[in-house]
Structure 1
Amino acid sequence: MLEFTWKIFLQTGDIDTYLLFKELEKERQETPVSIEDERTEVDFPIS
């Protein structure tokens, strides 16, 4: 999700997208998640 958000920001230059990226980045630093866990969550969202 982090990489996707960054790519969107690079394409659009939208400040809200950048702020979302920074928020996601901060959350990731607080609670490290492996790439495999992130993929699993996308395939099977936790409700």
Structure 2
Amino acid sequence: MLEFTWKLFSQTGNIDTYLLFKELEKEHQPKDEQEQELTEMDQPIF
């Protein structure tokens, strides 16, 4: 499903398709990677 959604986005440039791709990508990401990503987002930038 990810490949199809990405291919559709790359052919059309439709932003809604890209947002759908990102949502699907997050759902398929392992739980510990999601938590790590959120932790990194919470840290201040110096």
* TM-score by shorter chain over 0.5: yes
User: Rg larger in 1 or in 2?
Assistant: 2
Aligned length: 31
Name the structure 2 match of 1:14.
14
Give the structure-2-normalised TM-score.
Answer: 0.63
Structure 1 segments (4+ residues) deviating >3 Å: none
Deviation at 1:30, TM superposition (A): 3.9
Point out where structure 2 has 5 or more consecutive residues left out of the alignment.
32-46
Give the structure-1-normalised TM-score.
Answer: 0.62
Q: CA RMSD in A?
A: 1.2
| Percent identity of paired positions between Structure 1 and Structure 2 | 81
Point out where structure 1 has 5 or more consecutive residues left out of the alignment.
32-47
Deviation at 1:21, TM superposition (A): 0.1
